[in-house]
Structures are given as structure tokens and as C-alpha cells.
């Protein structure tokens, strides 16, 4: 099976770390094998955490590790001028409008702690589903009504198609945040459709997100997306056995570059045996 296009989708919310390098290297390897082109799509909708230096770091890292891409911005200024998610806000908003017109959206005023107290393990129990809160109210998030059970078919790279129901932690997932911006699930889905992505390589921690996006695509008739193939790869863990995170400052690529490690020495750290030692 050959694929047309895959993507790197880093966000400028911290310095890239070894886990990001692993994911992008795997993407590049599979793209080459499948003859797919690579889009660089920077997920910058979260303006609160985004910083210029983090944006710069994405380009420096790709260049340092000689990771190729054929589509998308060549540098930070081109990203800001032409490729920022802000420039596609109208696409996300049109999509939200369509969901509203289908009667699939409700407003929710619950705080995080209210949800933790109402449900188990932060599963949203649908508290506001029948409360008819106006979507135009301030300080509400918008949720997708996921009451309809949908048979989700997930094509995992190199495996048979598997069938799932929407996982519990994704019930009535958020599609517009309290700050009025479209959620990650919406931006990611709409961008992948917009750019014609047919192969998505991402960490296992995002598998539930993939299912949520497939659910939403099926509800809204985005049929091309239903044929997307996914590769959910294992995550690199730190010495304590936790997933690497940008906010914790774990082992950033920049740290190793500044320490004078060359490309090969950093790639060698991706071997789980050698990692962190």
C-alpha cells in the first residue's frame, strides 16, 4: 500500500525532546518507505504556551537532525505569515457551525474539579447535555454530543482494521474551549483533511484522540478521513518510567545539542536501553 502524505505535527509549547525526535524519525522512515511526502504542520492554536524560541527550536531541530519535509513553512517567519493555525480559524469555525446545525453541540459550564467529583477518573458524565445552556454564553466550553454509539473503524498501519466504540474518557469531548478557540481534536482533524493527509504517525497516548477524531469525522461525513491509516507508536519513557513531557523540561534536544552531542550520539539515545544513561 502506498501513501500520499503524512505529517510532523509538533507544537511550539516547549523545547522538543527525545520523544518528539523518535516520533518524527519514525514518520520520516515510513514516509520514505511508502513514497509519501511530509508536511510540517505546527500546532500553534494554544497561544498561552506558545513561544517564539520554541517555534525556532522546531526548525533548528529538523535541520540539525536532517529530517526532511516537502510541504509547509521553511522557517519561523514563513510559518507565522502563511501557515499558523490562526490563518485556518475560519475552517475550524465553519466546521463547528456545521456540527451546531446538526444539533450535535451543547454548552458546558462544568469546571475541572466539578467533573472530577461527578464522574469516575475525570470521565465527563454529560452533566450539561440537557441543560440547554446558550452556546453564546460567556465562559462555556462546547462539547460534542456523543450519545449516538458509532462503530469506529481504525486502520492501524500494517495490521487489520479494528473496530472500537468511543472510549469513556472521550465521551462528549470538548470541541471549543472556554477561551472561544477550537479544541485540539477539531484543529487536528480539520487540518489533516485540509492538507490531504492519509497516514498519521503519533504516540500511543493519542490513540483515544484518533478514535474521537474518527467518530467526529463519521458524524460529519468527512469520509476521506475515515480511510486514514494510523501508526500509534510506543512512547519513550524517562528513568522514572514516565512519559517525557515538554513542561517538565525532560531531556530536550536543545540540551543535548548545547552539550556538544552530535546527531549520531543523540540518535543513539533513542535506543530504549541507552536512553537516559
Binding mask 58-97 for Zn ion (x = CB under 5 A): ----------------------------------------
How far is CA 78 from each of CA 66, 166, 224, rounded to the nearest angstrom? 19, 37, 28
Please identify, using beta-carbon distances, which residue of 45 and 110 lies nearer to Zn ion: 110
Residues 156-175 close enough to bind Zn ion by CB under 5 A: none
Dihedral pair phi/psi, residue 93, rounded to 5°: -70, -40
Distances (CA, A) of 23 to 152, 201, 251: 25, 7, 15
**Residue 144 engages Zn ion in binding (rule: CB under 5 A):** no
Q: How far apart are CA 138 and CA 60, in angstroms?
A: 40
The set of residues, in sequence order, having a beta carbon less than 8 Å from that of 94 and lying 6+ positions away, is: none
Site for Zn ion (CB under 5 A): how many residues?
4
**Is residue 107 involved in binding Zn ion (CB under 5 A)?**
no
Residue from 28, 58, 128, 214 touching Zn ion (CB under 5 A): that is 128
The residue within the footprint of Zn ion, chosen from 108, 174, 197, 201 (CB under 5 A), is 108
Stretch that binds Zn ion, among 26-34, 120-128, 192-200, 257-265 (CB under 5 A): 120-128
Q: Which residue number, 130 or 271, has a Cβ lying nearer to Zn ion?
A: 130
Question: Among residues 109 and 238, whose Cβ is nearest to Zn ion?
Answer: 109
Pairwise CA distance, residues 105 & 92, whole Å: 14
* Lookup: cell for 7: 505529517
User: Whose Cβ is closer to Zn ion: residue 13's or residue 109's?
Assistant: 109
Rounded to whole angstroms, the Cα distance separating 191 from 91 reads: 9
Q: How far is the CB of 189 from Zn ion (least distance, A)?
A: 22
Q: How far is CA 91 from the centre of its chain?
A: 17
110 makes contact with Zn ion (CB under 5 A): yes
Contacting positions for Zn ion (CB under 5 A): 108, 110, 127-128
Amino acid at each position: 500500500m502506498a501513501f500520499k502524505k503524512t505529517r510532523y505535527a509538533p507544537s511550539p509549547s516547549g523545547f522538543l525532546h527525545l520523544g518528539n525526535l523518535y516520533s518524527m524519525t519514525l514518520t520520516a522512515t515510513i514516509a520514505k518507505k511508502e513514497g509519501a511526502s511530509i508536511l510540517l504542520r505546527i500546532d500553534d492554536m494554544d497561544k498561552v504556551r506558545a513561544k517564539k524560541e520554541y517555534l525556532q527550536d522546531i526548525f533548528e531541530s529538523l535541520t540539525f537532525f536532517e529530517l526532511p519535509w516537502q510541504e509547509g513553512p521553511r522557517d519561523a517567519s514563513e510559518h507565522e505569515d502563511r501557515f499558523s493555525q490562526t490563518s485556518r480559524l475560519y475552517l475550524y469555525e465553519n466546521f463547528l457551525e456545521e456540527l451546531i446545525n446538526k444539533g450535535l453541540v451543547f454548552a458546558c459550564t462544568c469546571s475541572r474539579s466539578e467533573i472530577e467529583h461527578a464522574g469516575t477518573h475525570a470521565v465527563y458524565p454529560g452533566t450539561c447535555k440537557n441543560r440547554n445552556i446558550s452556546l453564546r454564553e460567556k465562559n462555556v466550553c462546547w462539547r460534542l454530543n456523543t450519545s449516538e454509539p458509532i462503530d469506529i473503524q481504525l486502520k492501524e498501519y500494517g495490521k487489520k482494521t479494528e473496530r472500537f466504540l468511543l472510549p469513556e474518557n472521550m465521551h462528549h469531548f470538548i470541541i471549543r474551549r472556554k477561551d472561544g478557540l477550537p479544541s485540539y481534536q477539531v484543529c487536528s482533524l480539520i487540518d489533516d483533511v485540509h492538507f490531504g493527509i492519509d497516514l498519521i504517525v503519533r504516540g500511543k497516548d493519542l490513540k483515544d484522540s484518533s478514535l474521537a477524531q474518527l467518530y467526529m469525522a463519521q458524524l460529519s461525513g468527512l469520509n476521506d478521513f475515515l480511510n486514514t491509516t494510523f501508526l500509534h507508536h510506543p512512547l519513550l519513557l524517562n528513568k522514572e518510567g514516565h512519559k517525557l513531557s515538554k513542561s517538565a523540561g525532560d531531556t530536550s534536544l536543545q540540551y543535548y545539542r548545547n552539550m556538544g552531542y552530535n546527531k549520531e550520539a543523540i540518535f543513539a539515545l533513542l535506543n530504549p536501553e541507552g536512553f537516559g544513561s
